[in-house]
Amino acid sequence: MADGGGKRVVLRNRKARHEYEIVETFEAGLVLRGPEVKSLREGKASFQDAFARVDGGEVWLHSLYIAPYEPASRENDEPTRTRKLLLKTPEIRRLAGKLDSKGLTLVPLDLYFRRGYAKTTLAVARGKKLHDKREKLKRKTQEMEARRAVESHGR
CATH label of the domain that carries residue 121: 2.40.280.10
Please determine, for residue 76, whether its predicted confidence score (pLDDT) is greater than 70: no
Q: How far apart are CA 40 and CA 32, in angstroms?
A: 10
pLDDT recorded at residue 75: 65
Domain extent, residue 119, equals 2-128
Residue 73's pLDDT is: 67
The proportion of the chain whose per-residue pLDDT surpasses 90, expressed as a percent, equals: 17
The domain total for the chain is 1
Residue 136 located in a structural domain:
no
- The answer as to whether 143 is a domain residue is no
pLDDT band at 11 (very low <50, low <70, confident <90, very high): confident
Q: Do 52 and 61 meet the contact criterion of CB atoms below 8 Å apart?
A: yes
Separation between Cα atoms, residue 110 and residue 2, nearest integer Å: 13
Report if residue 134 sits inside a domain. Answer: no
- Residue 46: phi, psi to the nearest 5? -150, 140
Per the domain annotation, does 23 fall within a domain?
yes
Rounded to whole angstroms, the Cα distance separating 76 from 32 reads 11
Q: Which residue has the higher pLDDT, 4 or 100?
A: 100
Give 128's DSSP letter. Answer: P
What's the average model confidence in pLDDT over 59-78? 79
